[in-house]
């Protein structure tokens, strides 16, 4: 079953912050985060492994709560270049090594 993301869509002004959530019904080994621009393939942002870690670089970070099977992506001081559709990708503990199931997606639009 596909992980559910919230919100489905969000509009931000430059400089504002956003949080995107990803929730799975399965026990997870890892959570990936991707950003996709229109007409392009997804671009890998980061991976979080089982162990309840938090990762980040610059103004984009993420957390992974394996007990709740949830992950959140944090975008701070958003820039116009952050616009796109964000997908979480989950790797379940069972069901296939390195097999990633993509979430429902969150469309983010940053306006001046």
| Residues at the contact surface with another protein, assessed by CB under 8 A | 2, 30, 32, 39-44, 47, 49, 87, 89, 96-105
d(CA 50, CA 54): 11
| 43 three-class SS | strand
**Closest CB 95 distance from another protein, rounded Å:** 11
CA distance 34 to 87: 5
Task: Report the nearest approach of another protein to the CB of residue 65 (Å).
Answer: 20
In the complex, minimum distance from the CB of residue 75 to another protein, in angstroms, rounded to a whole number: 19
């Amino acid at each position: 079953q596909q992980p559910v993301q919230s919100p489905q869509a969000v509009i931000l002004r430059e400089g504002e912050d956003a949080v995107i959530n990803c929730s799975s019904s399965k026990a997870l080994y890892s959570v990936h985060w991707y950003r996709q621009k229109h007409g392009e393939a997804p671009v890998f942002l980061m991976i979080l492994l089982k162990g309840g870690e938090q990762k980040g670089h610059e103004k984009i970070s993420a957390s992974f709560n394996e007990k709740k099977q949830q992950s959140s992506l944090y975008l701070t001081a958003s820039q116009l270049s952050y616009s796109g559709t964000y997908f979480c990708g989950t790797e379940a503990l069972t069901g296939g090594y390195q097999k990633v199931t993509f979430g429902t997606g969150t469309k983010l639009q940053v306006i001046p």
